[in-house]
Structure 1
Amino acid sequence: MLLSATVTVVLATLATLLATGLDAGASARPVSGVSSRVLPLMHHHGFADPSVVRYAGGYLAVSTGRGAPRATATSPTGPWTLHRRAMLRHPGWARSSEIWASDMVRVGHRWLLYYSALVRGLGAEGRCIGVAASRTALGTFHPVGHRPLVCPRSARTPRAFDSLAHRGRHLPHSGVIDPSAYRGTSGRRYLLYKTQGYPSTIRILPLTSGGARVRHHARSKQMLRSRHIVENPVLVRRHRHYVLFTSEGFYGACHYRTTWRRTTHLLSWGHRRPHTLLQRSLTGVCGPGGADVVTRRHERPLVFFHGWTCRDGRPCPRRFHIDRGQRAHRSLYAAHLTWTRRGTPRVRGYLHPR
């Protein structure tokens, strides 16, 4: 009788574990911080460095690519549908319509798109940052003004509002990428961006209330500097802390990851140690990076990010590297973002496509 009862308990326990595992997979909640079934929301088309916003029709995402590709969905789980590109014409100072890691934001009665585009005079991949505007989120964005918003003086373009003229010899004299808008609690607007080359630096630039110009006599200041690759800055205010999300590592490999730092002073990041939010060992996703945080009223915020997928939308293998010629693209993912009582961000449940 004792043996029979023991077997019954073991079988019941196994059944419970199996049921729990199936339920966890169905609802996209990771078990013990690791999920083996994180699915992309959109994988038939590449969608790298997503910038996601709420608009009247639901959710709108902008991707790296020619003319800044867009996709829309009525809910974050989709289905996501490709929309026409945001920019049909690149500015005169740019030499290509290939747009990297743009950021969309609503300012007053119009929408702004901060973007980086190739320019002459900064090498093969040197870029500068511009801003474009549209009356609606799904409208065509037109470049604002005839010069870049941020661009080193050595570029062959009209002089930018922020020309990075005061960089020392120890800093890279190359282009600027990864623009990211931030609105402070006082209503003041800023633009964060990354300088190309090593060491990696993240800078912050005060903007006017309209968001399309640099504040009078203002210049960008360095927020963060690292010997390693640090890019894609996204700044969030959480109570008395500033939290800076970034991507670290080489973008074309599975070890690319999303990290965060925090401080109580906007320009005091020098000794803040990065903490991992998203990486392959926690998500099963190859190279989870390019993250953007979307805050929703009365709901948990969301973090959208990309990851490398290979065959049939599955995460690329651990040893994947873009330079090895494998067929792959970066797909769109999302997860719920929560905050602990101590004010640290945590991922709690991944979104699955409908």
Structure 2
Amino acid sequence: MSPLPWFPGKRALAAAALASAVVVTTAQPAAAAPRIVIDTDFPDPDVLAVDGTYYAYATNSGDDNVQVASAGAVDGTWERQGDALPQLGDWARSGLTWAPDVSERPDGSYLLYYTARDTASDRQCIGTAVSDSPAGPFAPVGDGPLVCPAEAGGAIDAASFTDTDGSTYLLYKNDGNAVGADTWLYLQRVSADGLTLEGDPVRLLKQDRPEEGGLIEAPTLVARGGSYVLLYSAGFYGDGSYFTGYATAPALTGPYTKSDTPLLTTEETGIPGPGGQDVVGDGTDDWLVFHGVLSEEPLVRGMYVAPLHWAGDVPSVG
């Protein structure tokens, strides 16, 4: 893969996989630079705040389909809680459960979107599960995946979004790079309980720059500064070419315009491959949560946090 133009190419990381314990840190004032809070494999983090407790969910690792950890503060001590999704839907096979997203539903229960391998199409597809607790266990819902465009490579990287009028949406990426096709970030309206698709999906953004390495993925949507801000990751997730970019739009469905410069790169942060991001907060005291590569062989990606600031609709970290 070609290196990004704004930093040297792939870094050979000498670090081996770190010990299985979560980093033990005490809550402290926000640092200017991103810092690691989980130093073991915890990729594609998604964070939800519930009654003063933060829950982080991550791509499968070891025997856990959906990793979950909790903390009293975003930058505080994180402790693992086990497998949030011990049983996949009957349509899926284990081992490829990626990029979970958890949100609270109007009735106080919790909805999990997860990506897994659909046995019928042999593509990654998005399924649903529900729980009365943010820590799980979540129980799969439905006889099949919610989103599964097999002809477009499948679907991955689900993300929930609630607009200012209370309407709810699902964002995802068609896994086009798996079949030599474009990778689009889609927006799809869903029912209030998150289990039913409504209307047609809308294409928001696709890969169109050389440094993106043929794909964009991991959508995160927020409303800030009178605009919609769509964060995304691009490049190869397993090395220093991975980075976090963003685009802005005056309306929910676009058009979205990519920033001239990315939000996070290996060169600027010193963290190899910063991506798979999530935004925690309401625009007042936001945090950016993301993973970085700790080791390439074996691939280990830890969880980092950093204060996220806004100048209108323009984000900055640190």
Taking a change above 3 Å as real, the CA distance of residues 271 and 236 of structure 1, as seen in their structure-2 partners, is closer
What's 1:345 paired with?
A: 315
What's 2:128 paired with?
A: 131
Contact 1:90 1:97 in 2 (8 A): no
**Structure with higher strand content:** 2
* Higher Rg of the two aligned structures: 1
Q: Does 1:39 align with 2:39?
A: no
What's 1:294 paired with?
A: 280
Q: Does 1:223 align with 2:204?
A: yes
TM-score by length of 2: 0.82
1:144 aligned to which of 141, 162, 167: 141
Q: Which amino acid aligns with 1:138?
A: A
* Structure 1 unaligned blocks of 5 or more: 1-25, 31-37, 155-171, 311-321, 349-354
Aligned-partner SS, 2:274: strand
What is the distance in 1 between the residues matched to 2:232 and 2:263? 10
- Could you tell me how far 1:119 is from its partner in structure 2? 1.1
- Could you tell me how far 1:236 is from its partner in structure 2? 0.4
Q: Which amino acid aligns with 1:231?
A: E
Q: Which amino acid aligns with 1:134?
A: S
- Could you tell me how far 1:56 is from its partner in structure 2? 2.8
TM-score by length of 1: 0.74
Q: Which amino acid aligns with 2:66?
A: A
Q: Does 1:93 align with 2:79?
A: no
What is the distance in 1 between the residues matched to 2:46 and 2:260? 22
Q: Does 1:305 align with 2:284?
A: no
What's 1:205 paired with?
A: 188
What is the distance in 2 between the residues matched to 1:150 and 1:103? 14
- For the aligned residues, what is the CA RMSD? 1.9
Q: Percent identity at matched positions?
A: 33
Aligned-partner SS, 1:281: helix
* Cα deviation digits, residues 197-250 of structure 1 (max 9, x gap): 2311111111011222112xx121211122431000000011421000000111
Q: Which amino acid aligns with 1:42?
A: I
- Could you tell me how far 1:179 is from its partner in structure 2? 0.3
What is the distance in 2 between the residues matched to 1:77 and 1:330? 17
* Cα deviation digits, residues 85-124 of structure 1 (max 9, x gap): 111111011122531001011112100001111013544x
Taking a change above 3 Å as real, the CA distance of residues 114 and 274 of structure 1, as seen in their structure-2 partners, is farther
What's 2:164 paired with?
A: 185
Q: Which amino acid aligns with 2:71?
A: A
What is the distance in 2 between the residues matched to 1:174 and 1:267? 23
Q: How does 1:160-175 map to 2 (within 5 A)?
A: 173-175=152-154
What's 1:283 paired with?
A: 269
Q: Which amino acid aligns with 1:305?
A: F
**Structure with higher helix content:** 1
Q: Where do 4+ consecutive residues of structure 1 move more than 4 Å? A: none
Contact 1:176 1:193 in 2 (8 A): yes
- Could you tell me how far 1:343 is from its partner in structure 2? 2.5
Q: Which amino acid aligns with 1:264?
A: P
- Residue-pair matches, total: 277
Contact 2:35 2:305 in 1 (8 A): no
